Structure 1
Amino acid sequence: MDELASVDGVIGPAGAMTVPVTDEGLLRGDGVFEVARLYGGRPFAWDEHVERLERSAANLRLEFDLDAAQAEVAALLERAGAVDGTVRLLITRAGRRVVVLAPPPVVAPTITLGTVEYAPSRVLDAVKSLSYAANMHASRLAREAGAGEALLVTPDGLVLEGPTSAFFYVRGGRLHTPPLADHVLDSITRRHVLAVSGATERSLRRDELDALDEAFLASTTREVQPVAAIDARDLPAAPGPLTAAAADAFRRYVADRLAP
């Protein structure tokens, strides 16, 4: 699939589209965005992504034309046809509407994690903003240490999530994920994995990581990705039985939601 984009309704090759350099979405990362997975040209849980986009924009006091944005997403999807991949909608501080279609990401069968100390910004709670520099830097720090991705941990030892994904773990035969009260993102994929897997919310401390039996990351792009090791300690299984069951349940749930 060729990468296509729309900027304020004008469609063209993604690499050729532009926004003004004076837009504070570029200058300051001031804006909001959502990314949904495309299956045969149909975005999964798009209504939920749009609702969260509206909440994020309202929390940032960012006004934009939602109807125009929705129409531009629809036009771009119609142009692309029945493709698999991702659709990204972002709104800048200038109210500029940018939609980008991209091919499906390459996701390895398993991934290793390295803990990275991270202090979430409380003022951006419940906001999926363009300000992702800290998240991206956490990923770089983890890779420099030999891991495939970061696992964010607060300075006082509370385990949160990946830079762009929810974290699920198995301890004592039970599947859990850190609660929203711990200031993790209310991920769309996290919601659905919780619903279909029987997982429960439970806070996790850094000193408990050695006791985990299984773990996985969940996100729009990864779906369910088993974790093979954390801080160079191999987990007993990747995927373990509860991870495999969650991945299967999520795949079936997506197929059911998108069935004609």
Structure 2
Amino acid sequence: MSNTVYLNGKFVPEEEARISPNDRGFLFADGVYEVIKYYNGKPFRYANHIERLERSLREIRIDFRETGSLKSVFQKLLADNELTETHAGIYLQITRGAHRRIHSFPDKYEPTVYAFAFSLPSAAQNIENGIKVTTHEDIRWLRCDIKSVSLLPNTFLFNEAVENGGGECILIRNGVVTEATHSSVFGVKNGTVYTHPLSNLILPGITRKAVIGICKRLKIQVQEKAVSEEELFELDELFITGTGSEITPVIQVDDKPVGNKKPGGITRLIQFEFFKLTSF
């Protein structure tokens, strides 16, 4: 059965979707993206995702003013691909479109808009048992707050983690934890939850925002404060968050266990409250 995708105003079979080889997304990674999770046909924090998308577009100066029409596009993709009654994801990518190869932004262009739906079940085993992660110097650029399609450093480091038996790679910049290759990072020490403050060095994660809200509602002390590389190995609990990761405990960092190498109590409580939010 052929999957239906959306490309520049049309719904077409995936194998018939075509873009120009001169598309700036292909030539320069000149574009941004979003991934939204749908639980039984209903999106989690849709408005937050669109707000972040619009911010990313503004930051790289792509003029796309049709975000208001995207919700119906996504719903049709889910329906056409029979994904309305399960856990699914929508991937959306917007580039500056096709143009002869010049390094400056062209004055006139037509953005390329591409979206597809895919099955996105929860990684139940990871969520229940936790994962091992590796660490590495944060070798990415300095505008990590933009959800750019330029992900080679992220994929390079994630692949290295997988090759070493890990499920993520935590990134260290100037001696402190920033985030992971495709997740936000939270640590727990003496009952307080810590995560890197918003800045140009991390993505403003949607699930990250939800977790901070959960902590405040439950009166769990939460500080947007960076954890040092040394402190990382002394945490009582550690977990990562993201659209795909949801709330995933970390039980080992490199070759060192976290706590008693089991998901901790605060992590479990946040998991419980998070999945209440997604029970549509």
TM over 0.5: yes
Within the candidate set 100, 114, 119, 1:103 is matched to 119
Larger CA deviation: 7-16 vs 185-194: 7-16
Structure 2, unaligned runs of 5 or more:
98-110
Which piece of structure 1 moves more, 124-133 or 80-89?
80-89
Q: Does 1:142 align with 2:161?
A: yes
Residue 78 of structure 2 corresponds to residue 77 of structure 1 = yes
Residue pair 1:179, 1:201 contacting (<8 A) in 2 also = yes
Q: Which runs of 5+ in 1 are unaligned?
A: none
Aligned counterparts, 1:1-260, within 5 A? 3-64=3-64, 65-79=66-80, 80=82, 81-94=84-97, 95-105=111-121, 107=123, 108-109=125-126, 110-122=130-142, 124-154=143-173, 156-181=174-199, 183-197=201-215, 198=220, 199-235=222-258, 236-255=260-279, 258=280
Q: Shift of residue 105 of structure 1? A: 4.6
When structure 1 is superposed on structure 2, of 236-245 and 69-78 the one drifting more is: 69-78
Distance 1:234 1:222 in 2: 20
- Greater CA deviation, 142-151 or 127-136? 142-151
Instruction: State the Cα RMSD in Å.
Output: 2.1
Q: How far does the alpha carbon of each residue in 1:23-57 deviate from its partner, in whole angstroms, 9 at most, with x for none?
A: 11122211011111111111111111111111100
Distance 1:253 1:86 in 2: 17
Distance 1:148 1:120 in 2: 19
Question: Contact 1:136–1:163 (CA<8 Å) still a contact in 2?
Answer: yes
Secondary structure class of the residue paired with 1:11: strand
Distance in 2, matches of 1:30 and 1:105, equals 30
Q: Which runs of 4+ in 1 moved over 4 A?
A: none
TM-score (normalizing by structure 1): 0.89
Q: Aligned residue for 2:101?
A: none
Task: Measure how far apart 1:253 and its partner are.
Answer: 2.0
The CA deviation at 1:254 is: 2.5
Change in Cα spacing, 1:37 to 1:112, as seen in structure 2 (3 Å) is same
Greater helix content: 1
Between the two proteins, the alignment pairs up a number of residues equal to 254
TM-score, normalising length: structure 2: 0.83
Amino acid in structure 2 at the alignment position of 1:186: P
- Supply the distance in 1 between the matched residues of 2:16 and 2:159 (Cα, whole angstroms): 28
- Counterpart secondary structure, 2:187: strand
Give the match's secondary structure for 2:274. Answer: helix
Larger deviation: 83-92 or 239-248? Answer: 83-92
Q: Secondary structure at the match of 1:160?
A: strand
Contact 1:116 1:141 in 2 (8 A): no
What amino acid maps onto 1:86 in structure 2? G
